[in-house]
Amino acid sequence: MTTEQLLALKTNTTLLVKNDPFEYKGRADITLDGGDVIHWLFSDEGTFLCVNPDTDEVIYFRPTESELESGDEEGMAFEGKPYEISYEDKGTVTAIFDETAIEEGDNLNFTDYENTEGDLVRASENVSTGESTIFTGVVLVEEETVVVED
């Protein structure tokens, strides 16, 4: 699916994302400090799709119980593998549509780490609530996200 198709989804649409069921429950629009807007599409299982319509990038994130291991300003280790910082940003939730894990007005900080195989880890902090969560992620191509037909 394209970024435009994902952003036009109706609540409770069932998708297959990399062959995993994803019951779409709601969306949060996040305005980054630089002014760009990204969209987090939430499932009922704690997973979300990060959709960036400016770059046409879609990343599938799943929560994990694993912790980040010690590192330095350029990277860290996760599950025994070295990762380097690939992206850092912060933003404010400027709109909520239906059910999401965050609220309008929440301030978020997040850092993405990537290893040499292209695996992603996102450390996300909701500054407004003090909650920190670690997610594993993978960049998707259009064919890896499809609507399940009734």
DSSP state of 78: E
Question: What was the pLDDT predicted at 70?
Answer: 79
> Tens digit of pLDDT per residue, the chain (150 long)?
999 999 999 999 999 999 999 999 999 999 999 999 999 999 999 999 999 999 999 999 999 999 999 777 788 999 999 999 999 999 999 999 999 999 999 999 999 999 999 999 999 999 999 999 999 999 999 999 999 976
DSSP state of 141: P
DSSP state of 4: H
The structure tokens 């649409």 sit at 13
Question: What was the pLDDT predicted at 150?
Answer: 63
Question: What residues have CB less than 8 Å from 134, skipping those under 6 apart?
Answer: 63, 64, 66, 67, 68, 121, 122, 123, 124
DSSP state of 10: P
Question: What was the pLDDT predicted at 8?
Answer: 96
Question: What was the pLDDT predicted at 71?
Answer: 78
Question: What was the pLDDT predicted at 122?
Answer: 97
Number of domains in the chain: 1
Structural domain for 137, as ranges? 3-147
Query: Closest Cα to residue 119, out of 83, 68, 87?
Result: 83
Tell me the two tokens of residue 67.
């912790």
The structure tokens 């929440």 sit at 106
